[in-house]
Amino acid sequence: MDAEAAVVGPLAEDLRVLNELSVVSEVDADAVGRAREHLEAARAILAEKTLDGPYGVRFTADGRQRSWGNAAVGLRNPIAPPLEFVKDDDGTVRADYFLRRGYEGPPGLTHGGISALILDQVLGYTATVNGCPGMTGTLTLRYRNPTPLGALHAEARVDRIEGIKAFVVGHISDGETVCVEAEGVFILPRWARERMAAEASAVTEAPAQD
Ligand SMILES: CCCCCCCCCCCCCCCC(=O)SCCNC(=O)CCNC(=O)[C@H](O)C(C)(C)COP(=O)(O)OP(=O)(O)OC[C@H]1O[C@@H](n2cnc3c(N)ncnc32)[C@H](O)[C@@H]1OP(=O)(O)O
């Protein structure tokens, strides 16, 4: 982990814990007031210097991608569980992750929209690392069984690639039971296709070098 990650990663992790405590703490009103005074002090410090816009995607000096603001994988983002992916030799992508009690939808269970967020990211990342990056065009979910909170597993594989479109399938399980199945179509957007075509034509038209 680099020096910046070592500073901002623990901040996001602290905020994940606070998020859960906001849901489950049973301290009295006076204690909530005292906690809020500390949070206000932290807010004032962190707000001293901020970006003007979203974090976006950054690149390190050695070309590694940083999606630290991303709501599913972002190291800096307390909303993100965060997911960490492992890619198998056959292109399958897996993630073991843990959902705290702040992700509840139905009582005691994971919110269905959170499962959608996770599957969107896992399937989209799978398309990207298998050579067909794109935006989510269509994401179809089948909620087969209730998804608990806590330790969960997601995985995905490319079903097929048709030109600019990757068809990816995947699921979330609790380790034994498949809870949610997903199919996604990921499409390289027109603007990206046009940019790639313009770059290819600029290379073709460049004068030969000695
Ligand atoms: C350089 C790379 C950039 C990408 C970066 C990668 C980042 C790598 C991170 C990985 C992790 C991401 C995981 C989170 C991913 C999100 O959360 S993305 C956010 C949610 N999605 C969006 O906001 C997408 C919004 N929609 C769009 O931008 C555009 O509608 C689309 C989907 C890119 C398609 O636009 P387009 O390229 O102008 O489409 P168009 O030329 O009309 O059609 C192309 C083909 O796609 C088909 N198509 C069009 N729309 C759809 C659709 N909704 N469903 C199915 N098929 C469709 C058309 O029928 C056509 O098919 P063919 O006739 O060629 O067979």
Q: What is the DSSP string of 161-184?
A: EETTEEEEEEEEESSSSEEEEEEE
Q: Which backbone phi and psi does 90 adopt, to 5 degrees?
A: -85, 5
Cα(125) to centroid of ligand 1, in Å? 14
Q: Confirm whether 97 is domain-assigned.
A: yes
CA 99 to the chain's CA centroid: 13
Q: Confirm whether 129 is domain-assigned.
A: yes
Q: Confirm whether 16 is domain-assigned.
A: no
CATH number at residue 166: 3.10.129.10
Owning domain of residue 164: 83-194
Q: Confirm whether 22 is domain-assigned.
A: no
Confidence of residue 63 (pLDDT cuts 50, 70, 90): confident
Find the DSSP H helices in the chain. Answer: 3-24, 29-46, 112-129, 190-205
Predicted pLDDT at 202: 87
Confidence of residue 58 (pLDDT cuts 50, 70, 90): confident
Nearest atom within ligand 1 for CA of residue 121:
13
Whether residue 135 has its Cβ less than 6 Å from ligand 1: yes
The pLDDT tens digits for 87-139 are 999 999 999 999 999 999 999 999 999 999 999 999 999 999 999 999 999 99
Q: Confirm whether 188 is domain-assigned.
A: yes
Q: Confirm whether 180 is domain-assigned.
A: yes
Question: How many domains does the chain divide into?
Answer: 1
Q: What share of the chain is helix, strand, coil (3-state, %, to 5)?
A: 35, 30, 35
Q: Confirm whether 39 is domain-assigned.
A: no
Of residues 62 and 54, which shows the higher confidence score? 54
Predicted pLDDT at 210: 57
Q: Which backbone phi and psi does 117 adopt, to 5 degrees?
A: -55, -50
Average pLDDT over residues 15-30: 98
The pLDDT tens digits for 147-205 are 999 999 999 999 999 999 999 999 999 999 999 999 999 999 999 999 999 998 888 77
Cα(97) to centroid of ligand 1, in Å? 27
Q: What is the pTM of this model?
A: 0.93
Predicted pLDDT at 152: 98
Q: Confirm whether 111 is domain-assigned.
A: yes
Which of 135, 188, 196, 199 to mutate to test ligand 1, by most ligand atoms within 8 A of the CB atom?
A: 135
Q: Which protein residue has the closest C-alpha to ligand 1 atom 14?
A: 121
Predicted pLDDT at 204: 76
